[in-house]
Amino acid sequence: MIKSTVDWLPYLKQSLKLIDIDAEAIDLDAVAEQFGQIAAFANQVNTFALTETLEPSAGFEP
């Protein structure tokens, strides 16, 4: 199982080679940083969803 951004970089490089894209021409560190930021945001959303109780909007009847 892939546990961190660093774990999937070799797979990304291999995949890019399979579709004939020069992996060395892409700034994989920048890509990894962006994915890390996306993952951190998703984690914050999940944490919020698990810990917060949202009030129903006015007029909403369950």
Which residues, 6 or more positions from 17, have their beta carbon under 8 angstroms from its beta carbon? 23
59 within domain boundaries:
no
Mean pLDDT of 20-25: 68
Q: How confident is the model at residue 4 (pLDDT cuts 50, 70, 90)?
A: low
Token match 């996306």: residue?
38
Whether residue 58 lies inside any domain: the answer is no
Q: Is residue 62 part of a domain?
A: no
pLDDT at 51: 73
Mean pLDDT value of segment 25-52: 79
pLDDT band at 1 (very low <50, low <70, confident <90, very high): very low
Q: How many domains is the chain built from?
A: 1
- Residue 56 covered by a domain: no
Evaluate if residue 15 carries a pLDDT over 60. yes
> Does the residue 16 lie in any domain?
yes
Mean pLDDT over the full length of the chain: 71
61 against 46, higher pLDDT: 46
